């Protein structure tokens, strides 16, 4: 895709035209306008990126275009949306259903809530094809499988038979992307499509979107808070704040000379890979590393049995985590990076006793056992808390967010009455929310705001260790910077230790004292921040660094490097456990061959 595309777009065919769009939502205090007078044209083969804080109206704009607003709570209150010559506002649901997926497709921000939990992945993909194209079931299955292969899911044939809960967050996002691309739409709306993906898969998905654009002229609206992705992909950038456009400009001048102060603030908050070169962490001392270990993990192994055959016996195992060992000191942050599906989140769940595991886990010198009394479990959870990857799935939709944040304090008998309300209000304030939002429910918040609620809940018990599983992945860069500063501040004040699971290498470099790199269930490289980022030794680590998007459109890569060949699988037949190391070596050779 050429950087001159935006200049040429004046002569290109307009596929989508939005004029003075207003979107209103119902609140206890009356109607609130969340998208206010939005206007833009999208041309064939063009990519427009919409950036801004969570809650600025980015996703509401996409839902308005798709006709997916939850009426009567939200509705298009004014303006027009034209797809070619066809006016979309005012269409009946049956008419919009024929438009969605065929003419306009959308990749949603939270894949777990967008996939049907009771249908297999293959059936959902097949239905997406059959709903819009007159093909046989066999052809629909072939198209679905091709889409799975295009987004580079390992063992796509087996993934077709699985259910959404059996896949990692990144894998589910790739399924959503495959579903959106299956019918080759004219307009693709991608709402944070790479938020849950590691940088190598992100590069592949972005290249896939470029290839689709080149082959079919698909126009793309890319909603993202990742300014590196904006710099790599955008022809034009629309910056939103409080439901309004504050800047609409071509990508190069916007980065070089932003016109609006808010745009300048967004760009200044972007973490840049290499910005910490030569710097040492300031809040962890050598003595702390030796004498204040709060978490010790030795030979942690997590395997899941897979059954098959007529007798439904165990025939193979998923080696999700294999022989992982590390330590975490008081006041230290250990960054854990690697591809989606490599076992990062499984380690976090094992530490929380949420999945069966083998090996040794010690918190503050005390061994964690798998079968504990309720009282012992409460004491353990008070010392170790987790912020999960999917904020919507980890918040009870029936409870107010104030009750959700205050619930741990009630369970542990730490506060009640007015003291409870004051402590919850203080937690809301610390993560950038207001006390008057405590009475709302999770569905009334944006994805980024829900993640801040989860962070507040994890902080409620003042734990010794926090497992942050993609804890800032859903946040825009300005709020992300605030939350990261908050985590650092709490670490310095309380000596908190963080296991920081992330695919954002620039953020990991910014917050970590040490870094562990995972590949197919094993740690392949671990060292200090400077060792990993300034002198990586493993070929996979070097590939991760190379795939990080650069937040500078002047340095845009024409083509992302996309690995070829089959992705190695962590599934092995019974009796082949001793071949695990050989299996990992094969993966390394795969990487070396593509370097």
The string of pLDDT tens digits covering residues 441-456 is: 998 887 778 888 998 9
**CA–CA separation, 224 and 52 (whole Å):** 8
Taking only the tens place, the pLDDT of each residue in 152-166 is 787 889 899 999 988
| Average pLDDT along the chain | 83
Instruction: Report the alpha-carbon angle 148-151-152, nearest 5.
Output: 85
What pLDDT is attached to residue 275?
75
| Of 194, 259, 258, 253, nearest in space to 220 by CA | 194
52-56, 435-439, 563-567: which is most confident: 435-439
pLDDT-derived band at 10, boundaries 50, 70, 90: low
User: Is residue 25 classed as helix, strand or coil in its secondary structure?
Assistant: strand
Q: β-pairing, 465-469 with 497-501?
A: parallel
Q: How many Cβ atoms sit within 10 Å of the Cβ of residue 123? A: 16
Domain 291-590 CATH (choose: 3.50.50.60, 3.30.465.10, 3.30.70.890, 3.40.50.300)? 3.40.50.300
Q: How far apart are CA 449 and CA 455, in angstroms?
A: 10
Q: Supply the pLDDT for residue 357.
A: 92
> What distance in Å separates the CA atoms of residue 270 and residue 593, rounded to the nearest whole number?
33
Query: Which pLDDT score is estimated for 504?
Result: 83
Three-class secondary structure assignment of 389-444: CCCCCCCCCCCCHHHHHHHHHHHCCCCCHHHHHHHHHHHHHHCCCCHHHHHCCHHH
Q: pLDDT of 57-107, one tens digit each? A: 998 999 999 999 988 889 999 999 999 889 999 898 888 988 887 789 888
Partners of residue 30 on adjacent β-strands: 27
Beta-sheet strand order (sheet of 236-241): 104-107, 187-191, 219-223, 47-52, 236-241, 244-250
Q: Indicate the burial class of 20 (C-beta count within 10 angstroms; 0-12, 13-18, 19 or more).
A: exposed
H/E/C letters for each residue in 557-582? CCCCCCCCCCCCCCEEECCCHHHHHH
- pLDDT value at 529 more than 70: yes
| Radius of gyration (C-alpha) of the chain in whole angstroms | 24
- Least confident span in 421-435, 461-475, 476-490, 521-535: 476-490
Classified by CATH at the fold level, domain 1-92+219-270 comes out as Rossmann fold (3.40.50)
Same fold, 1-92+219-270 and 291-590: yes
Which range, 104-113, 199-208, 424-433, 554-563, is most confident? 424-433
> Quick one: pLDDT at residue 408?
92
Residue pLDDT, tens place only, 320-332: 899 999 999 999 9
Q: Report the Cα 470 to chain-centroid distance in Å.
A: 7
270-282 residue pLDDT tens: 888 877 777 766 5
* pLDDT score at 573: 67
SS3 156: helix
What is the per-residue pLDDT across 340-376, written as a single tens digit (0 to 9) for each?
778 898 999 999 888 889 999 998 888 887 656 666 6
Express as a percent the part of the chain with pLDDT over 70. 87
- Among left, alpha and beta (phi > 0; psi -120 to 50; other), residue 228 is alpha
Kindly compute the dihedral angle of the four CA atoms of residues 208, 390, 433, 30, in this order, to the nearest 10 degrees: 80
Is cis: bond before 72, omega within 30 of 0?
Answer: yes
pLDDT value at residue 578: 40
The residue extents of the domains of the chain are 1-92+219-270, 291-590
Q: Is pLDDT larger for residue 226 or for residue 281?
A: 226
User: Mean per-residue pLDDT for 287-308?
Assistant: 80
Give φ, ψ of 6 to 5 degrees.
Answer: -65, -40
pLDDT at 519 over 50: yes
* Contact present, 373 and 353 (Cβ < 8 Å): no
- Tell me the backbone φ, ψ of residue 101, rounded to 5 degrees: 90, -35
Is pLDDT at 130 greater than 60 in this prediction?
A: yes
384-407 exposure pattern, b = at least 16 Cβ within 10 A, e = fewer: bbbbbbbbbebbeeeebbbbbbbb
pLDDT band at 593 (very low <50, low <70, confident <90, very high): very low
């Amino acid at each position: 895709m050429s950087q001159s595309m935006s200049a040429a777009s004046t002569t290109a065919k307009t596929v989508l035209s939005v004029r003075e769009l207003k979107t209103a939502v119902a609140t206890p205090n009356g109607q609130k306008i969340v998208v206010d007078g939005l206007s833009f044209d999208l041309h064939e083969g063009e990519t427009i990126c919409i950036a801004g804080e969570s809650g600025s109206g980015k996703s509401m704009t996409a839902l308005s275009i798709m006709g997916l607003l939850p009426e009567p709570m939200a509705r298009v209150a004014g303006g027009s949306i034209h797809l070619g010559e066809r006016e979309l506002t005012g269409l009946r649901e049956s008419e919009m259903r024929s438009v969605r997926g065929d003419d306009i497709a959308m990749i949603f921000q939270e894949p777990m809530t967008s996939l049907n939990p009771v249908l297999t992945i293959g059936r959902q993909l097949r239905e997406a094809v059959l709903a819009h194209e007159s093909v046989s079931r066999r052809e629909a299955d072939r198209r679905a499988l091709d889409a799975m292969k295009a987004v580079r899911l390992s063992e796509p044939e087996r993934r077709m038979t699985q259910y959404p809960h059996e896949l990692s967050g990144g894998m589910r996002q790739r399924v959503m992307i495959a579903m959106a691309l299956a019918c080759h739409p004219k307009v693709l709306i991608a709402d944070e499509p790479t938020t849950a993906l590691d940088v190598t898969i992100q590069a592949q998905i972005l290249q896939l979107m470029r290839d689709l654009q080149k082959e079919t002229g698909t126009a793309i609206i890319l909603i993202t808070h990742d300014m590196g992705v904006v710099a790599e992909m955008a022809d034009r950038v629309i910056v939103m704040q409080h439901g309004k456009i504050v800047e609409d400009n071509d990508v190069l001048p916007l980065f070089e000379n932003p016109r609006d102060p808010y745009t300048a603030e967004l760009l200044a908050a972007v973490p840049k890979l290499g910005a910490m070169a030569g710097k040492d962490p300031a809040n962890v001392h050598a003595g702390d590393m030796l004498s204040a270990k709060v978490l010790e993990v030795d030979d942690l192994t997590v395997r899941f049995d897979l059954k098959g055959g007529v007798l439904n016996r165990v025939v193979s195992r998923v080696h999700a985590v294999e022989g992982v060992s590390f330590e975490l000191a008081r006041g230290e942050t250990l960054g854990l990076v690697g591809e989606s599906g490599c076992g990062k989140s499984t380690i976090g769940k094992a530490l929380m006793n949420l999945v069966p595991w083998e090996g040794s886990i010690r918190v503050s010198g005390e061994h964690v056992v798998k079968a504990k009394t309720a009282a012992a479990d409460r004491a353990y959870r008070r010392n170790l808390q987790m912020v999960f990857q999917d904020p919507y799935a980890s918040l009870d939709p029936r409870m107010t967010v104030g009750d959700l944040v205050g619930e741990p304090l009630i369970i542990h008998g730490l506060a009640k009455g007015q003291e409870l309300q004051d402590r919850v209000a203080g937690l809301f304030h610390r993560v950038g929310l207001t006390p008057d939002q405590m009475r709302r429910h999770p569905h009334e918040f944006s994805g980024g705001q829900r993640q801040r609620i989860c962070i507040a809940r994890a902080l409620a018990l003042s734990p010794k260790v926090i497992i942050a599983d993609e804890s800032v992945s859903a946040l825009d860069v300005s709020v992300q910077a605030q939350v990261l500063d908050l985590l650092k501040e709490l670490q310095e004040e309380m000596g908190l230790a963080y296991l920081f699971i992330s695919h954002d290498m620039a953020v990991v470099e910014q917050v970590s004292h040490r870094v562990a790199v995972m590949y197919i269930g094993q740690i392949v490289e671990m060292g200090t921040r400077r060792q990993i980022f300034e002198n990586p030794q493993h070929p996979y680590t070097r590939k991760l660094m190379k795939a990080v998007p650069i937040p500078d459109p002047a340095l845009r890569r024409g083509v992302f490097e996309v690995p070829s060949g089959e992705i190695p699988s962590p599934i092995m037949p019974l009796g082949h456990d001793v071949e695990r190391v050989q299996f990992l070596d094969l993966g390394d050779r795969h990487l070396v061959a593509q370097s």
